[in-house]
Structure 1
Amino acid sequence: MLWQVQRVGGKLLRRRVKTASSEAPLPIIGLLDAALREQHEQQQRWRHQFGNAWHDTGRVVTTRFGQTVDPRNFSRAFTAWCHTAGVPVITVHATRHTCASLLVALDVHPRMAMAILRHSQIAMTMNIYSEVSSKETREALHRLGKTLGDDARQ
């Protein structure tokens, strides 16, 4: 059973993930694997540094004392990371939209995108996350024109 941390009524609560599909295994890419290993090594350094003050919660992302990270603090840290990286500041949730847009741009099948994004219904994937760029729209119209016998490239 998988859990997520949510702030409800001013308190941090551990809640079950929304759907059974959220619990399905998902392979991780090398970039994420490296980041998780670095996080684990950082936790080991903190555990050594803070000794008895360290709380072993078993969570992957924690404070330096091993405690649960408040979602608001994570959002603040994410904003700071965006500034440090010199990229536009977006919300953590917007990274799901970014991931979906990248999956669309890579021509990933919608059912696969649905599994990756952990949507319980394909309509969610198709209606919310499948924004197509103008370049892709032009290419689709070019292919349509070519199919209909128009060889001119505009």
Structure 2
Amino acid sequence: MFTTRNGTPVEPRNFNRSFERYCEKAGVPRIRVHDTRRTCASLLAALDVHPRVAMRILRHSQISVTMNVYTQVPAPETRRALNRLNQSLGEPLS
């Protein structure tokens, strides 16, 4: 929950408008506020942050929600992980 300077709740539509303005100023694509959670989870996974730590950051009560619903590992990260696994087994992928 976000509050105003006076401590009252921010109207969701006002928050969304402000969020869109910040995205525009930053020159980043507009996404839904909720999608920032998915972005955060995916970035944490790409940085090899332990899933339990990501779960705590995102305030989920179950790790399955963090990993199955919110986290997407990009293809290059998957390739690097497979290369590391292959190297540990003896043969790097080409």
Q: TM-score if structure 2 supplies the norm length? A: 0.85
Following superposition, the deviation at residue 118 of structure 1 comes to 0.4
Matched residues, number: 93
Identity among equivalent positions (%) equals 58
Aligned mates of 1:132, 1:68 — CA distance in 2: 35
For 1:122, give the aligned amino acid: I
Aligned mates of 1:149, 1:109 — CA distance in 2: 25
Following superposition, the deviation at residue 123 of structure 1 comes to 0.9
Following superposition, the deviation at residue 141 of structure 1 comes to 1.4
Q: Identify the structure with the greater strand proportion.
A: 1
Q: Which of 1 and 2 has higher RCO (CA within 8 Å, sep 6+)?
A: 2
Report the RMSD for the aligned CA atoms in angstroms. 1.8
- Who is 1:148 aligned against? 89
Where does structure 2 lack aligned partners over 5 or more consecutive residues? Answer: none
Corresponding residue SS for 1:88? coil
Q: Does 1:136 align with 2:69?
A: no
Where does structure 1 lack aligned partners over 5 or more consecutive residues? Answer: 5-59
Q: Does 1:62 align with 2:4?
A: yes
For 1:75, give the aligned amino acid: N
Following superposition, the deviation at residue 110 of structure 1 comes to 0.7
**Deviation above 3 Å: which 4+ runs of structure 1?**
none
